[in-house]
């Protein structure tokens, strides 16, 4: 899921849907199946292939998508992401 103003996008496979809730409301409803990893992103932990360091100061999750998308991990979420993913 990706935040976009007062709504958010939900990605399922190669499709994108609009959810009328903001990301915070969606995170509350979808917990614990989805993990907040950034102020603008929620991910399904089962779809995380690994953790990457695109640069020395950034961390991203490699997702199980055809393009192996990288989702940024916000600084305040790094420890909770590591813990939730067992890294």
* 18: β partners: 9
**23: exposed, middle or buried (C-beta count within 10 Å: 0-12, 13-18, 19+)?**
buried
**pLDDT tens digit string along 24-75?**
888 888 888 899 999 999 999 999 999 999 999 999 999 998 889 999 999 9
Fold of the domain built from segment(s) 2-85: OB fold (Dihydrolipoamide Acetyltransferase, E2P) (2.40.50)
9 pLDDT above the threshold of 90: no
pTM listed for this prediction? 0.84
- Residue ranges per domain, the chain? 2-85
Q: In sequence order, which residues have a C-beta less than 8 Å from that of residue 69 and are 6 or more positions away? A: 62, 63
């Amino acid at each position: 899921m990706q935040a976009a103003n007062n709504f958010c996008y939900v990605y399922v496979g190669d499709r994108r849907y609009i959810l009328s809730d903001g990301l915070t409301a969606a995170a509350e409803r979808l917990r614990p199946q989805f993990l907040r990893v950034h102020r603008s992103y929620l991910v399904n932990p089962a779809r995380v292939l690994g953790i990457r360091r695109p640069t020395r100061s950034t961390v991203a999750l490699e997702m199980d998508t055809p393009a192996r998308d990288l989702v940024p991990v916000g600084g305040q979420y790094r420890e909770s992401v590591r813990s939730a993913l067992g890294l």
